[in-house]
Amino acid sequence: MSAVLAERVCSAGSAALPAAPTGRREDIDACASEVLAMLQNHSYEDTAAHFRTSRGKVYSLAVRAGARKNEAAILERKADRRRRQLEFMESVVNSVQKADVLDFLAGLPDDSVPLHLCSPPYNLGLSYGQGASADAFSYSYYLGWSIQVLSEMARTLAPGGTLFYQVGSTRGPDGGLVPIDTVLFQHLITMGLTFKTRIAWVVPHGLTPKRRLAERYETALVFTKGPEHRVFNPDPVRTPQRQPGKRAFRGPNKGQLSGNPFGAHPSNVWTIPNARHNAPGRVEGHPAQMPVELARRAILLWTLPGDLVVDCFSGSGTTAEAAIRTGRAFSGCDLFYEDLRAQRLAAVSPDLSTPLPGITDESLAVWQAEARPVHVPARDPDLFDAPVPG
C-alpha cells in the first residue's frame, strides 16, 4: 500500500506526494486544495483516479470542506433563495406558465400565496392536451405525486391563507373507486395545516351508471395555514333566507328581526351546475372544466381584492377568469391548453359590481320597513371645541 501511495500525484500531473505509511485521511489532506480544485469540474471517480486514491476519501474531503458536488444547492443562502423566488413570483403574476406543477411551485417563496385553488387530475385516464399518459399513473405513484404537490402548496401558503383542493374519486389498486379526499386528508394534517371544512359540490347532472348510484357530488377540502382564515367574507356567497321576516321570540332582541339583511350564512353544500358540453360559459376543448362559479365563490370567500390566487392545474383558465372578474391577481401553470387559455382570458374583464345573492325582493322589503332614521351630528362641539391641553 505504501508503494502505491508514494506514486500519487498531488497536482495536475507533476509533483509527487511523499509516501505515507498508511492510507489515513491525512494523506489526501496534504494536497487538499488541488483535489478540491479538480473536483469543481470533474466527477468523484475521475478525481480519485487522478490522485490515485479512493472515491470515498475524495468525498470525505469534500464533505469536510463544504464542497460536495451539490453543495451549491444545499448551502444556498435562504435570503438569496427567497430573493430569487420573489423575482420569479413577480414575473409570473397575472400569467399562466407552461411548466410542470412541481417545478412551478418550487419557484414560489415560502408563506406567499393567500389562496391556492385548484382541481387536480383524478388519474382516471382522461386525455389532457397532448399527454396521453398524463392521467394514467399507478395508484401508488399518483398518491405520492399528490402528496408532493400538496406539500409544496403547504410550504408556499401564506399564514392564514387558504387551500381549496377540489377532488372527486380515483381508481384504487384493485380498479375500484377511491375518494381522493379521504386518502389525502391525514397527509394534510401532518403537513401542519388546519382543517376548516369539507365542501360538497352538488352536481345536478352527470353520467348514469348501471350497477351503482349515480355520482352527483364531488368535494373540496378547505385547510388553512394556522388556526383561522386571514380573510372570511360570507356576504357575497350568502343564500336567501326562507323566512326573512322571522323575529326573535325571547332574549334581549325579542321582537327584532333575527336574520341577517344580506341573507343566510353560507353552508358547505354548494349546488352549482357543472361545465358540461354546450353549457353557458364553457370553453370547448378541455375534458374536465371547473365551473367559473365554483372558483368565484371560493375567491370571494377567502381573499380580498388584489390578493393573489394560484392554480397550479390551470387547465382552460377557469380560476384565472374568476380572479380577473373579482379583481384579484392570479398565477398558475399547466403543460397544455396555452392557446385555449389565451383566447378565453383575452375576452375577460373585471366585473363592475359584486352581486349579493342572499338579498331578495322580499328580504329587501322587510328590512326597509324596519329602517329608522338615525341622526348623527356632523360635528360634536364638546369634542372639537375643547381647548387643547398644554
Per-residue confidence (pLDDT) for residue 4, from 0 to 100: 36
Closest CA relative to residue 360, chosen from 236, 270, 259, 241: 241
User: Residue 13: which domain range?
Assistant: 2-74
The count of other CB atoms within 10 Å of the CB of residue 343 is 14
Looking at the fold, whether 92 and 199 belong to one and the same domain comes out as yes
pLDDT at 237: 96
Q: pLDDT tens digit string along 25-51?
A: 446 778 888 888 888 888 888 888 888
Q: What is the pLDDT of residues 342-379, one digit of tens each?
A: 999 999 999 999 899 999 999 999 999 988 888 877 77
Claim to verify: residue 112 and residue 22 sit in the same structural domain: no
pLDDT surpassing 50 at residue 21: no
* More confident call, 128 vs 2: 128
Residues 13 and 83 both lie in one domain = no
Q: Are residues 197 and 277 in the same domain?
A: yes
User: Do residue 30 and residue 65 come from a single domain?
Assistant: yes
- Could you tell me if 67 and 90 lie in one domain? no
The CATH number of residue 281's host domain is 3.40.50.150
pTM of the model: 0.77
36 and 95 co-located in one domain: no
3-class SS of residue 158: strand
H helices present in 75-175, as ranges: 78-92, 101-106, 139-156
Confidence at 219, pLDDT banded by 50, 70, 90:
very high
For the chain, the first-to-last Cα distance in angstroms comes to: 92
Residue with cell 345536478: 204
Which set of grid coordinates corresponds to residue 169?
A: 374519486
The DSSP symbol for 326 reads: T
Report the DSSP beta bridge partners of residue 221: 165, 198
- Count of the separate structural domains present in the chain: 2
Are 180 and 169 contacting, i.e. CB atoms less than 8 angstroms apart?
yes
Mean pLDDT along residues 279-288: 73
The Cβ of residue 117 has, within 10 Å, a number of other Cβ atoms equal to: 29
Q: Retrieve residue 30's grid coordinates.
A: 496534504
- d(CA 271, CA 36) in angstroms, rounded, equals 64
Query: Could you tell me if residue 383 is inside a domain?
Result: no
* CB-neighbour burial class of residue 35 (10 A; exposed 0-12, middle 13-18, buried 19+): buried
Amino acid 380: pLDDT: 63
- Render pLDDT for 168-218 as a digit per residue (tens, 0 to 9): 999 999 999 999 999 999 999 999 999 999 999 998 877 788 888 988 999
Average pLDDT, rounded, for the chain: 86
Residue in 34, 32, 39, 108 with CA at minimum distance from that of residue 71: 39
Whole-angstrom CA distances from 57 to 46, 65, 300, 380, 385 are 13, 12, 59, 84, 85
Nearest to 115 by CA among 297, 346, 293: 297
Do residues 7 and 137 both lie within one domain? no
